């Protein structure tokens, strides 16, 4: 394809999504009272663009199961999928177990959220937006800040990875080298266009607009993948024999280790991806929440499996070039596209742009969602909150564009964020336990915070044991030095996700966090007694709620006592 053609596709797709968002926010009526939160100003109905700050930021109680399913699917998949599982598919030492592991890992967060989502929602309070608010309500401000930092880091890296991926795909399909400086203007232009359009339509319609565009993007993605599947496998140049396919089709120990690593890493990270949690509050009820997330799993699994099998076909087609590294495994999907007519390349660009836009707009709203409750708490009206949200969108995306021009490898970028999330996942979600289980004390805020810190220390100790002093990329360039460089997990194995060192790190890290959460919580309770159950600075809504519950209980007891006394007196008089 030529450069002009790619620009035409990019602008047409992004303009189309913007129009969908405008229609969603300007013409689709929304009930005046969604719960007790929607601030309406016109008659019995209003529209998303006029809705109050809460609904603009949460789409609270407005989405059915099908909408939740498609939104979760579209928001979770991204341009990175054309690289990730295809790399494992084109690496015969990993093959089936790695592919199936990545496919299952990508969909597993949907199942977990379907299970724990209603409880998290209940414990977070009715005015919550994300799991950040769960951290605040269950523990306090210290854990809220820790979880916010971890979550923002992950989502920011996700945005950088998405912008890097979509720019690389556009460059590859116009035969431009992604790492050469003279092509930087082109690839940066691609990233800027995606960011500008997504900021524009999410600023207008907020989360309701993002969810509506997710539905459209999900339909486009599913249709295009079906078309591309037949286009790729039916092209004579891409047909391979069973013997050729068997070269890539293996069951290996390395594949098992990669699969285990991916399941733990992706689950830990996606539980800090706030767009996933925003849909919990957007669901119209718990039934829609559970069904929506469960419905999303097969779509995600099959999408990832599709790209993994594409990588296997590419390897079988030209195994010698991949074995000698004349061709790179993570680009194997584009090897299959090479013999296709440019028309099909255009469809791929539409697919990748839809993938990218659906992820970027969800992540943008997700990052703002971290601050939503505080924005509404400290602003006098919804309009002010909207403008603060829009400012934060700009603030986040500018450095993301700059970092995307550095062309970091996408999978190592995700690994850094995954490992950081693994340090905090159990300290946070063990908070679902509010009562002691025998000798295990319900986590306190101090215990959970110290548990996460110990998990970070565990990663550093692991790096020290392995004598790890610097991280290098596949080209041999040093990308980080010092003790924290081990977070890059460049362990020198078959792939960034592979090997026993990486797998053990992802198994041990969350376990360390969980163990020390219980240890320090028990110690905290032993020293401070019941005071340990309250937030460190007395700011958590938990404390206020508990005090209200105590007051209510006292009032109820008084009322019951009065009623019992009255009934006793009546019986006495009757007798």
Q: What is the pLDDT of residues 213-250, one digit of tens each?
A: 888 888 888 888 888 888 888 889 898 999 999 999 98
Please answer whether residues 138 and 542 qualify as being in contact, where contact means their C-beta atoms are separated by less than 8 angstroms: yes
Indicate the pLDDT class of residue 288, thresholds 50, 70 and 90. very high
Q: Pick from 169, 381, 120: which is nearest to 272 by CA?
A: 120
Query: What mean pLDDT is predicted for residues 383-387?
Result: 68
Number of neighbours of residue 555 by Cβ within 10 angstroms: 10
Residue that has been written with the tokens 């062309």 in this structure:
407
**What does the alpha-carbon distance between residue 309 and residue 316 come to, in Å, rounded to a whole number?**
11
Can you give the pLDDT at residue 1?
A: 76
What is the pLDDT at residue 202? 84
Backbone angles phi, psi at 472, to 5 degrees: -125, 150
Q: What is the mean pLDDT of residues 147-163?
A: 91
Can you read off the two tokens belonging to residue 489? 């997990």
CB atoms closer than 10 angstroms to residue 236: 6
Q: Which residue has the tokens 């991280």?
A: 471
Query: What 3-state class would DSSP assign to 15?
Result: helix
Cα dihedral sign, 460-463-465-468:
negative
Element (H, E) at 38: none
Nearest to 72 by CA among 271, 366, 300: 300
Average per-residue pLDDT for the chain: 84
Structure tokens at 168: 């690389």
Q: Give dist(CA 252, CA 259) in Å, integer.
A: 11
C-alpha 154 chain-centroid distance = 8
* pLDDT band, very low/low/confident/very high, at 40 (cuts 50, 70, 90): very low
Strand partners, 220: none
By the 8 A CB rule, do 96 and 68 touch?
no
Average pLDDT rounded to a whole number, residues 270-288: 93
Indicate the helix (H) or strand (E) that contains 443: none
pLDDT in tens, 410-434: 777 788 889 999 999 999 999 999 9
Whether the predicted pLDDT of 44 surpasses 60: no
Helix (H) or strand (E) holding 273: none
Confidence of residue 573 (pLDDT cuts 50, 70, 90): low
Q: Which residue has the higher pLDDT, 327 or 412?
A: 327
Tell me if 311 sits within 8 A of 495, measured CB to CB: no
pLDDT above 70 as % of the chain: 85
pLDDT at position 210 over 60? yes
Q: How would DSSP label each residue in 301-332?
A: HHHHHHHHHHHHHHHHHSHHHHHTTSS-GGGH
What fold characterizes domain 3-407? Sodium/glucose cotransporter (1.20.1730)
Average pLDDT over residues 73-94: 88
- Span of 12-16, 27-31, 77-81, 491-495 with lowest mean pLDDT: 27-31
pLDDT at position 564 over 70 = no
Nearest CA-CA partner of 74 in 273, 302, 266, 299:
299
Per the listing, tokens 């289980």 go with 437
Rounded CA-CA distance 208/365 in Å is 10
Task: Give, as one character, the DSSP assignment of residue 47.
Answer: E
282 alpha-carbon distance from chain centroid: 16
Q: How confident is the model at residue 460 (pLDDT cuts 50, 70, 90)?
A: very high
The predicted structure's pLDDT at residue 475: 67
The closest of 432, 426, 428 to 119, measured between CA atoms, is 432
Residue with tokens 């396919």: 245
CA 269 to chain centre: 7
């Amino acid at each position: 394809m030529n450069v002009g053609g790619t620009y035409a596709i990019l602008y047409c797709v992004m303009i189309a999504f913007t129009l969908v968002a405008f229609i969603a926010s300007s013409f689709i009526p929304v009930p005046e009272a969604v719960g007790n939160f929607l601030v309406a100003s016109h008659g019995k109905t209003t529209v998303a663009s006029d809705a109050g700050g809460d609904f603009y930021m949460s789409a609270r109680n407005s989405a059915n199961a099908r909408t939740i399913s498609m939104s979760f699917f579209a928001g979770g998949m991204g341009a990175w999928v054309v690289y990730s599982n295809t790399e494992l598919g084109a690496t015969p030492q990993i093959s089936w177990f790695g592919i199936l592991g990545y496919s299952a890992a990508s969909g597993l967060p949907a199942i977990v959220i379907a299970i724990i989502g209603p409880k998290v929602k209940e414990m977070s309070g009715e005015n919550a937006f994300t799991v950040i608010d769960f951290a605040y309500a269950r523990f306090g401000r210290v854990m809220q800040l820790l979880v916010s930092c971890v979550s923002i880091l992950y989502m920011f890296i996700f945005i950088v990875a998405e912008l890097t991926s979509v720019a690389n795909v556009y460059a590859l399909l116009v035969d431009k080298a992604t790492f050469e400086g003279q092509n930087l203007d082109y690839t940066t232009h691609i990233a800027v266009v995606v960011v500008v359009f997504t900021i524009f339509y999410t600023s207008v319609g907020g989360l309701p607009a993002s969810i509506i565009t997710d539905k459209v993007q999900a339909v486009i993605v599913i249709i295009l993948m079906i078309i591309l599947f037949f286009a790729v496998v039916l092209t004579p140049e891409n047909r391979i024999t069973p013997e050729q396919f068997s070269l890539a089709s293996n069951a290996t120990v390395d594949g098992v280790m990669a699969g285990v690593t991916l399941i733990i890493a992706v689950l830990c990270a996606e539980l800090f991806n706030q767009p996933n949690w925003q849909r919990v509050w957007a669901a119209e009820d718990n039934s829609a929440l559970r069904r929506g997330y469960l419905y999303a799993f097969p779509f995600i699994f099959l999408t990832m499996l599709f790209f993994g099998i594409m990588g296997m076909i590419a390897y079988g087609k030209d195994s010698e070039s991949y074995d000698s590294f004349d061709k790179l495994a993570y680009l194997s999907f584009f090897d299959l596209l090479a013999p296709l007519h440019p028309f099909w390349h255009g469809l791929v660009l539409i697919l990748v742009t839809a993938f990218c836009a659906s992820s970027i707009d969800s992540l943008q709203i997700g990052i703002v969602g971290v601050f939503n409750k505080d924005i509404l708490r400290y602003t006098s009206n919804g309009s002010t909150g909207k403008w603060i949200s829009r400012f934060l969108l700009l603030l986040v995306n500018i450095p993301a564009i700059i970092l995307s021009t550095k062309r970091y490898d996408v999978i190592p970028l995700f690994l850094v964020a995954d490992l950081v999330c693994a340090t905090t996942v159990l300290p946070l979600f063990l908070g679902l336990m509010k009562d002691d289980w025998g000798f295990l004390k319900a986590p306190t805020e101090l215990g959970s915070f110290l548990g996460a810190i110990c998990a970070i220390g565990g990663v550093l100790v692991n790096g020290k044991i392995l004598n790890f002093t610097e991280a290098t990329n596949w080209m041999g360039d040093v990308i980080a030095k010092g003790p924290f460089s081990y977070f890059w997990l460049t362990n020198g194995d078959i792939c960034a996700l592979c090997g026993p060192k990486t797998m053990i790190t992802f198994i041990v890290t969350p376990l360390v966090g969980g163990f020390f959460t219980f240890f320090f919580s028990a110690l905290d309770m032993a020293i401070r007694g019941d005071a340990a159950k309250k937030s460190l600075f007395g700011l958590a809504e938990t404390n206020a709620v508990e005090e209200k519950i105590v007051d209510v209980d006292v009032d109820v007891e008084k009322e019951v006592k009065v009623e019992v006394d009255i009934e006793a007196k009546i019986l006495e008089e009757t007798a």
